A and B are shown apart, each in its own frame.
Chain A
Amino acid sequence: MLALRTMFDAFKNKHGLGVACFIGFAVFFWALFLIALPQIAMLDYSFRFNLPRADIGGPSDVYTLENYAYFFRGNDGGFNALDVGILFKTLVAAVFVTIIDIMICYPIAYILAHSATGVAARLMVIGLIVPFWVNEILRAFAFRILFGATGMINGIGMEIGLWDTPIDFIRADIALYSGLTYAYILLMVFPIFNAVEALDRNQIEAARDMGASWWRVHWRVVLPIAKPGIASGATMVFMLTAGALAAPQILGGPSNLWFTQLIYQWFNESANWQRGSAYAVILLLVCIGFVTMMMRVFKVSIGEIGR
């Protein structure tokens, strides 16, 4: 309390009473009513039964673990291989997409920071940003045009005789992975770029003068500098990919669900919000747990995210 009080006074002396009140109120409202309480409400909700409105708050409105138990055991009490499998597949796919994004974006970020100059660099930045002003749905739609059964790639492939029957890229999830890789490239390039840009060119030249080969220069000089940027980008790409809903809905195969689609189904098709909340909590915890674990492994802190 005292700390808050002294801070408020510091603001008041520096920016005036009105500004201090505004800052205090806005941050309080944001942190409490928009961030903290909704998450707590969702957690609370996930431990309740799906009751008709009249019964809410009544004697039957008690806490239960039923929604979580369902995730692990399903209806028949056995192992719910379907849902757990979907969660596992989603995580693996998200990791896969993240790794591909790192591999694509690291060279581009490095080229942008240290090789491109003047007009070329400006054009590259514009070229990176412009595609991401186009709606996410439309970007997924573009991949659907490319990969559909009568799409562009099948059309050309069959035209020049590479294959006879259309390849089902959508069922094979190739369309989905390409779309997801595409969707979050920007979020990977700029953190890495910011990190690599700080590198002193002389260090690279020194390493080269000492006879290091190009991959050694990258491995020993550039990568250590880029690491916080990669971690930050990878965290964002992983979380967004695992939490993606539009791309799997549009590009995903009919029999191949993403975990967010399960949550969506509980809400919009089964009208079981409690169970949907439970699934959302599971997704959140698993993702956060995974990211924290990875941050431990690579020794980065959350304070470096978003820089």
Chain B
Amino acid sequence: MNKGTGGGVIAAGFSLLFFSFLFGPLIIMVITAFNSSSFPRITPWECFTTEWFAVLIGNDRLMNGLANSLFIGVGVVLISVPIGLAGALALSEMGPRLRAALYTVLITPILIPGVVLGISTIVFWGALGRGVGADYGSIFYDGMFLTLAGQVTFISAYAMLVFLARLQRFDPTLTEAALDLGASPGQAFRKILLPFLSPAIGSAAFLTFLASFENYNTTVFTILSGNTFTTTLASKVRHGTDPSLSALAVIIIAITLVGAMVHEAHTRRSQALRDGSAARSKIYGNPVLRVIVHPLCVFAILIGSISFLTYQGSQYDASVCKQQVLDEKRARQEQLLEEQRQRIKAQKEAAGATETGTSVKKSPSAFGGAFGGAAPKPVETPKSPSPFGNAFGSGTLAPKTD
């Protein structure tokens, strides 16, 4: 490491801090998925449970939104990858002046706020629909179509950037050689350029699908009265939450990690095979290890262990522990109530003692004051989360629990 220019201990420490900022919130969210407390939290820990996954799967609206999102995502991939490819090809052939102008036009959708894109999409297609005299049931007022249009607008630009990066490394003499050898232009395109671009097509498809699936800002306007996975999720989070969303995060993170590991195994393997170091390396030289680190095998192992964990989790029953926690809470509430009663009784006696001889009219207010000050509040003590905790717990509406 190069000391003094950012290497060494400081760099390591900073990286550590940075990645704990990156992963900390996610890890905590994952842990809350297994806490039986009805508001997602770690402290106080109640019971280990897997019931939130069942709650998640049972949410029809979310599952319906998931279907919509998958449909839109596939549509966006099918439209925006070709458009992005066309944009990249057009840019790569242009003169510098024209290129700069077109580049500015095509890149702006990335910079325009998603909200603005969504609004402009519904306004434009609505106006077009009115122009041709279509009614509200037509495609111009269809949430799915509008979402496709709105998302393709900027997601195509992502795809275009991927293709541009790949095209920069393309050697145009290859196409010229093919043409000289008698290939038709179309053949040269299919046999030379497209195969060269195929890795970029893969990553563009992945990127566009992810961007479409995740998008909220544009979709929340263009989907109109319908819902996608992300919009359902957002409305759920805004209107109070329960740990089933954490369970969802667990699933998404698991998928992500599996994907990342398989991809890593794949790149390492193909790299080792390509540069010929496979035979010499310890892992790829050993026949057993070689099979184990094959991407498919890695995938199978991961899926196997996840299914095993899922099965184990589905067999796990948290009801005993939950009953225990509930009993504890009840006991605590009883105890608090009892203390309350004692206090009130004591105050009553004290009030009765002082009031002997004074006007009787004053006594109701004295009682009122005593009750007002000692109103039973077992629910709000932070240490005893109650069944009502959920109602009070959701962020913005939360009262100051003092």
CA distance A277 to B122 in the complex (A): 11
With A214-B5, A245-B220, A277-B123 in contact, do A284 and B19 touch (Cβ < 8 Å)?
no
Q: Return chain B residues, CB-CB under 8 Å to A107.
A: 6, 11, 14, 18
Specify which of A12, A115, A128 is in contact with B6 (CB 8 Å cutoff).
Answer: A115
CA distance A35 to B156 in the complex (A): 11
User: Do the beta carbons of B123 and A135 come within 8 Å of each other?
Assistant: no
- Asked if A1 is at the interface (CB within 8 A of a chain B CB), the reply is no
CA distance A170 to B19 in the complex (A): 23
Q: 1/0 per residue B229-271: CB within 8 Å of A?
A: 0100110011001000110110011001101100010000000
Taking CB atoms and an 8 Å cut-off, the chain A residues in 224-251 that contact chain B are: 235-236, 239-240, 242-246, 249-250
CA distance A108 to B156 in the complex (A): 29
User: Do the beta carbons of B5 and A204 come within 8 Å of each other?
Assistant: yes
CA distance A208 to B123 in the complex (A): 58
Q: Return chain B residues, CB-CB under 8 Å to A35.
A: 105-106, 108-109, 153
Chain B minimum-CB-distance residue to A149: B398
User: Do the beta carbons of A246 and B400 come within 8 Å of each other?
Assistant: no
B interface residue count range (under 10 / 10 to 19 / 20 to 34 / 35 or more): 35 or more
- Asked if A150 is at the interface (CB within 8 A of a chain B CB), the reply is yes
CA distance A239 to B157 in the complex (A): 16
Interface SS of B by simple majority? helix
With A149-B400, A273-B123 in contact, do A284 and B6 touch (Cβ < 8 Å)?
no
Taking CB atoms and an 8 Å cut-off, the chain B residues in 355-402 that contact chain A are: 382, 385, 389, 393-396, 398-402
Most buried by A among B4, B94, B113, B399: B113
Chain B minimum-CB-distance residue to A22: B86
Specify which of A42, A159, A267 is in contact with B120 (CB 8 Å cutoff).
Answer: A42
User: Do the beta carbons of A13 and B14 come within 8 Å of each other?
Assistant: no
Chain A minimum-CB-distance residue to B82: A26
- Asked if A70 is at the interface (CB within 8 A of a chain B CB), the reply is no
Chain A minimum-CB-distance residue to B156: A30
- Asked if B314 is at the interface (CB within 8 A of a chain A CB), the reply is no
CA distance A39 to B400 in the complex (A): 45
- Asked if A38 is at the interface (CB within 8 A of a chain B CB), the reply is yes
Q: 1/0 per residue B36-53: CB within 8 Å of A?
A: 000111111000000000
Known: A3-B98, A27-B86; 10 extra A-B contacts, CB below 8 A, are A29-B83, A38-B124, A130-B256, A134-B253, A135-B213, A135-B252, A144-B241, A283-B116, A284-B113, A302-B104
* Chain A interface (Cβ < 8 Å from any Cβ of B): 3, 7, 10-19, 22-23, 25-27, 29-31, 34-42, 44-45, 56-57, 104, 107-108, 110-111, 114-116, 122, 124, 126-131, 133-146, 148-152, 155-156, 158-159, 165-166, 168, 170, 182, 185, 204-205, 208, 214, 217-218, 222, 235-236, 239-240, 242-246, 249-250, 253-254, 260, 263-264, 267, 273, 276-277, 280-281, 283-284, 287-288, 291, 302-303, 305-306
* Chain B interface (Cβ < 8 Å from any Cβ of A): 1-2, 4-7, 11, 14-15, 18-19, 21-23, 25-26, 28-29, 32, 39-44, 82-83, 86-87, 89-90, 93-94, 98, 100, 102-117, 119-125, 127, 130, 149, 152-153, 156-157, 161, 175, 179, 184-189, 193, 210, 213-214, 216-217, 220-221, 230, 233-234, 237-238, 241, 245-246, 248-249, 252-253, 256-257, 259-260, 264, 382, 385, 389, 393-396, 398-402
